[in-house]
Amino acid sequence: MSSYNDLEIYQMAFEFAKKVHFASLKLPIYELYEQGSQIRRSSKSIKDQIAEGYGRRRYKADFIKFLIYALSSCDETTSQLKMLIETYPDLPDFKGLLPEYENLGKKINNFIQYVESNWRT
């Protein structure tokens, strides 16, 4: 790996953040800056934490810390999606994103375990 761009979890997080961004713009105006803003920020935070952690990969503990932040942001995004699915069932984009984020969370968790066991500084 020569860049965070090579990480599958980063690629997934980037693509999903774009989907969340465009799906959130379909929310009613009064939610665009409330729930919409929150889910856009949490979804974009995942990719950013992965990138920042990768930049600190020389320090294993820092790398793991930022991957945990990414996982936490993924959990937050999943929670936000669940709320949006319940409150706006007519917007199907969010339903399709939920399993994608649940899968991403599993992959981030697996990568954390890999780094903990195999990463050399």
In the chain, how many H helices and how many E strands? 5, 0
pLDDT in tens, 31-69: 988 999 999 999 999 999 999 999 999 999 999 999 999
Burial class (CB in 10 A: 0-12, 13-18, 19+), 86: exposed
The rounded distance, in Å, linking the Cα atoms of 77 and 45 is: 9
pLDDT band at 99 (very low <50, low <70, confident <90, very high): very high
Backbone angles phi, psi at 85, to 5 degrees: -65, -40
Identify the pLDDT of residue 92: 84
Q: Which residues, in sequence order, are CB contacts of 21 under 8 Å at separation 6+? A: 40, 43, 44
pTM: 0.94
The domain limits of the chain are 4-115
Q: Which fold has domain 4-115?
A: de novo design (two linked rop proteins) (1.20.1440)
Identify the pLDDT of residue 121: 62
SS (H, E, C) the chain: CCCHHHCHHHHHHHHHHHHHHHHHCCCCHHHHCCHHHHHHHHHHHHHHHHHHHHHCCCCHHHHHHHHHHHHHHHHHHHHHHHHHHHHCCCCCHHHHHHHHHHHHHHHHHHHHHHHHHHCCC
